[in-house]
Structure 1
Amino acid sequence: MSGFDPLVLIDACYAAALDPEKWSGALDGLADALGARGTVIVSHDPARTAQTLASERIADVGVDYGAGGWWQHDTRIRLGRERGLLRPGAVMVDEMYIEPDRKRTDPFFQHFIDRHRLGNLCAYVGADPMDRHTLSFSAPRDVRKGPFEGFEVERLGLVGPHVIRAFRLTALVGDMRREAEGLTSALERMRAGIVILDARGRVRLVSPAAERLAAGYIALRGGAVPEAAEPVESARFDRFLADILPDRAWPRQDILLLRRRGGGRPLSVEALPLRGGDPFPVAGAGLGGGVVLLLRDLLAPATRPIEPLLEQLGLTRAEARVAALVGQGFAPREVAEQFAVSESTVRSQLKAVYGKLAIRRQSELAVFITRLDSL
């Protein structure tokens, strides 16, 4: 097994779970290690089987298998089910359940496998930890190669469980990111931001909106306890933090109106307990849960949430946010700075907005947003 480093391959799969664009390179690297033409991940859940993930080298095979409908006629999956071979943890090769004569006469092999010049297949079967449906990580040979060698089958059995696990993590991370985007959008519409403190009152997470709202009111440094920016508010803010920490009876004072350094309207700081264990535990500390601080500018002018209406017209959430701001008079450069993206990204999203709304220039968008705001 010289030249085979399973840790590098496994690390590449888990890196792809966080950045799906890396999956193609990870799957190609696995194909090289297994002596295969490419690799592919297939769900055996009928509701998801058409959604395959294939390495770049056999991308055309993956598209044909899914969009072309061949997943509905996959003889390998059907025979594997009939013969009880699709068990989590199983490693299979064609010779275990498909006779050579059957391959020569079976429509799936004749019209799909032969057309793509694929040969033998080696596959690891895993179980989805969420719904227990099985998935397979498969490595098809080129038609010019013979059966898999024993060491290649061993390699696939070694990395297979991690490939399946990382693949499911990709979906879970995507779901979490979408939920987080939804929460961020909702908080922005409320003109609110969140700060998460651990059980010792130290800052662990600050949302972009909270960072903007806290300016001049609260000093927020990662790993440190927040401090009031206005010296005369220090003692009152320190007492507020002491009251909301988990070892105190809840609640005592869970809302505080904090004055700004140099004057100005107050900032509302509301404390919400994090139930359960400390989300950022310290070894041996044995502390309870942390605290969420909800920051709100109560006197900010109220605005109607236009973005949900724009999303109903076919815009993505990101496009709706850009359209709303540009339609209110913000320049693309200002929008890019606010969302921490490049100006070219904003202009690309704006071009998509114009196409979907059938308008041609920013002045038309401004009229449209104004009328939408009056609904």
Structure 2
Amino acid sequence: MTETLTTLTGALDGLYRSLANGSDWQETVRHGAEATGADRFNLVTAGNDGTARQFTYPFDPESALEYVTTYLPRDARFPRLIARPSGFVTTEDLMSPEEIANCPVHQEFYRRHPECWNSAIVFGRSEDGLVVVGAHRHRAHPAGWRKDQPSLMIFANHLARITHLRDIVPNGAIARQGALAAFDGLDDAIAIFDVNGLLVHLNPAGRRLIDGRHGLRLVGHRLMAGQPEVTEAITRAVGKTIRVLAGTDLTLPRPVPVPRPNGRVPLFLRFFAAPSHDGRARYGVVKLVDPAEKRVPDIAFLRSATGLSNGEAALAVGIYRGLTVKAFAEEAGLSEQTIRKRLKHVCDKLGVRRQPEIAMRIAALASV
């Protein structure tokens, strides 16, 4: 195992221990600095209600508070992040050299904190807003973030899901009760599988969605869908999660959409690695998300985030709701041929090929 991989694996173990034990976020971001070799590492959560929090390592609460209250509203990168698909960016991807030269964050805040000058950011959308992971290096330190992008992406992928689990699981509940009991008390639909990929537990909310009426069923201890290709996608996602549990892979799978009967909006399966009582990731968790119970993205927001026109954004939302091209055409009062042409434009602009991929992109923007 390479030194980089050893460091990253150790940091991920620490990350899961922090979830199991209910450690504060300060301990969590320390593991991020270790994983990425950053001079400063931070986690910013920006809520839909306008609130923002920042946790930073090395510990510096004064500068963290100053950034969130004084400089975050003036940081040109954040509105530009919101308009992009989730993923990895550097400051240079978001701002020109001229903008950096006139940026109050760089010219005022970062001059007093030069260890933040070269920044790489991985961000995603949570159910409550944005989760932004930032790794920073000193102004005198060569940036080199492209080389370290894989490590940062892997750690941020886990951190985003840990953030979500910490939002829904009471603090320290896994250490006190064990993973099964901790998830049983949630309103969220949760299924838990072991290192063999066998489903070993469903919480009450999960049982309500795995009954055949929602496109999912249990065959023995295996989670299956109505379509063979969807079952295959679930199997691949479970397998990838098991590799993370076993330490042979570091990247968790993308959500899997599951079509439901009667053209209803599909379910989405999100995969997590959850810690056992000692903090090591030893349980696979599937969260079953029903988008019908979640908000649909605003058309104006979709336009700014994706570059779609009003009509294209409406079609993308229709697909997210589970409508076929024919059903959407009838609802919109347009010909099926017109909608198929519009569908091609949507696919081109989103960089996807199939309708389920459109639904996944809209699901991400809907904070599923």
TM > 0.5? no
Bigger RCO (CA 8 Å, 6+ sep): 2
Q: TM-score, length-normalised on structure 2?
A: 0.43
Structure with greater Cα Rg: 1
Comparing both structures, which one devotes a greater share of its residues to helix? 2
Q: TM-score, length-normalised on structure 1?
A: 0.42
